[in-house]
């Protein structure tokens, strides 16, 4: 295989923890120059995947998931919770940043989504990129995407909805039972679609995979060659699996007993949905602690954790200056999220009525 080729690895239908561990293993192997650029296809046993910055208790009906055997896992990428079953096809790119066109995460998302949309067009649908990171057909979402960059290694992943069980999806997500009616299902169906709905039947997996690869070849000039799971990835898989099955991985955005937020607020902006939960010393007007979560993408991922640390015990009068200084001193990409959004949501939480 020449240096310009991308290996295509189909890791098939697996439990969610294995796929999350494979993401880690592929990225680590790529970072160590043990593998080249890879395009991976994957499918999930029934599961709910949290975005990296989300809290399981806030986003999912965990009791329903336990009762019905729905695995709960956390993605390496940001964004919102996704319900997966074998009716969705996952696809992803793992490569060095230099293997993709130059630009920030937003520019990279655009060109990758355009390539995927072009590929889906070969199935007979009019798929188009929709900012900030979706692919739509006639105004309805058929694919969501997201990515991260760790050092010089990129992981960018997306889904294709082959078919869709809206009622089950709504039940898994934290939607009040009293709202799970025909109106709710109809409302989602107006915004989300599937290949089965558009084509009248579910196309073969091989046809969908071939169409996607064709789109990337035409739009980005990529050359592909099928390959088995690389040995370097397989060797790293057990340790990665231990990491994603540890309680700390799933609970990293949860709240322990010692974390009882006095106030909270939610801010919806073009860059996503941002939630802040704060401990506030109202007498001294000091921010004792803040916890951010929500549906958003931030690169590098630990930037939000570092921001939380920087905001501990500051005077509220200094909030905006500290936030601006924090982001001015480091390279980061909020994928549409702005520094002032973090300050705004903390301020809104502080002003919320208890």
pLDDT in tens, 93-145: 999 999 999 888 889 999 999 999 999 999 999 999 998 889 999 999 999 99
- Contact (CB, 8 A) for 107 and 179: no
Which residue, among 21, 20, 80, has the nearest Cα to 53 in the 3D structure?
A: 80
Look at 93-102, 255-264, 298-307, 323-332 and tell me which has the smallest mean pLDDT: 255-264
**Which pair of tokens denotes residue 257?**
């007993």
The reported pLDDT for the residue numbered 280 is 87
> On the CB side of 324, how many CA atoms lie within 13 Å of its CA?
6
pLDDT in tens, 55-84: 898 889 999 999 999 999 999 998 889 999
Mean of the pLDDT values across residues 319-324? 96
The reported pLDDT for the residue numbered 3 is 45
Percent of the chain topping pLDDT 70: 93
The reported pLDDT for the residue numbered 58 is 84
Region of residue 294 (left: phi > 0; alpha: psi -120 to 50; beta: else): left
pLDDT in tens, 243-268: 999 998 988 655 543 444 588 999 99
The reported pLDDT for the residue numbered 8 is 98
The reported pLDDT for the residue numbered 119 is 98
Give the separation between CA 344 and CA 266, rounded to whole angstroms.
10
Mean of the pLDDT values across residues 18-38? 98
Q: CA of 1: how far to CAs of 216, 223, 229, in Å?
A: 18, 10, 15
Mean of the pLDDT values across residues 191-205? 95
- 269 has pLDDT over 70: yes
Q: How confident is the model at residue 1 (pLDDT cuts 50, 70, 90)?
A: very low
Beta strand 153-161 pairing with 140-150: antiparallel
Q: What's the whole-number average pLDDT of the chain?
A: 90
The reported pLDDT for the residue numbered 183 is 62
- 299 has pLDDT over 50: yes
- 348 has pLDDT over 70: yes
The reported pLDDT for the residue numbered 180 is 47
The reported pLDDT for the residue numbered 258 is 46
The reported pLDDT for the residue numbered 259 is 47
More confident residue, 138 or 188: 138
């Amino acid at each position: 295989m020449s240096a310009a080729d991308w290996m295509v690895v189909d890791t098939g239908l697996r439990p969610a923890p294995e796929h999350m561990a494979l993401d880690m293993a592929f990225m680590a192997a790529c970072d160590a120059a043990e593998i080249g650029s890879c395009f991976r296809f994957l499918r999930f046993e029934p599961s709910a995947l949290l975005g990296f910055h989300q809290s399981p208790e806030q986003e999912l009906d965990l009791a329903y998931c336990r009762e019905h055997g729905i695995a709960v896992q956390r993605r390496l990428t940001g964004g919102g919770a996704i319900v997966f079953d074998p009716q969705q096809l996952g696809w992803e790119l793992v490569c060095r940043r230099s293997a993709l066109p130059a630009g920030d995460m937003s520019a990279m998302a655009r060109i990758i989504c355009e390539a995927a949309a072009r590929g889906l067009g070969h199935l007979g649908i009019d798929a188009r990129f929709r900012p900030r990171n979706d692919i739509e057909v006639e105004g309805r979402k058929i694919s969501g995407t997201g990515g991260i960059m760790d050092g010089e290694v990129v992981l960018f992943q997306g889904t294709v909805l082959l078919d869709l069980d809206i009622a089950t999806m709504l039940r898994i997500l934290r939607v009040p039972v009293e709202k799970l009616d025909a109106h709710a299902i109809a409302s989602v169906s107006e915004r989300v679609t599937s290949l089965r709905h558009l084509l009248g039947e579910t196309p073969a997996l091989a046809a969908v995979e071939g169409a996607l690869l064709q789109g990337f070849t035409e739009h980005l000039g990529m050359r592909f060659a099928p390959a088995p799971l690389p040995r370097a990835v397989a060797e790293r898989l057990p340790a990665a699996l231990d990491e994603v099955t540890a309680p700390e991985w799933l609970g990293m955005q949860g709240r322990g007993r010692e974390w009882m937020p006095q106030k909270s607020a939610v801010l919806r902006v073009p860059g996503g949905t941002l939630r802040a939960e704060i401990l506030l010393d109202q007498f001294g007007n000091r921010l004792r602690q803040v916890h951010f979560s929500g549906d958003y993408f931030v690169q590098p991922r630990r930037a939000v954790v570092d921001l939380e640390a920087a905001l501990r015990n500051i005077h509220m009068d200094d909030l905006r200056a500290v936030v601006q200084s924090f982001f001015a001193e480091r390279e980061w990409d909020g994928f549409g999220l702005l520094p002032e959004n973090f300050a705004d949501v903390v301020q809104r939480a502080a002003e919320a009525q208890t």
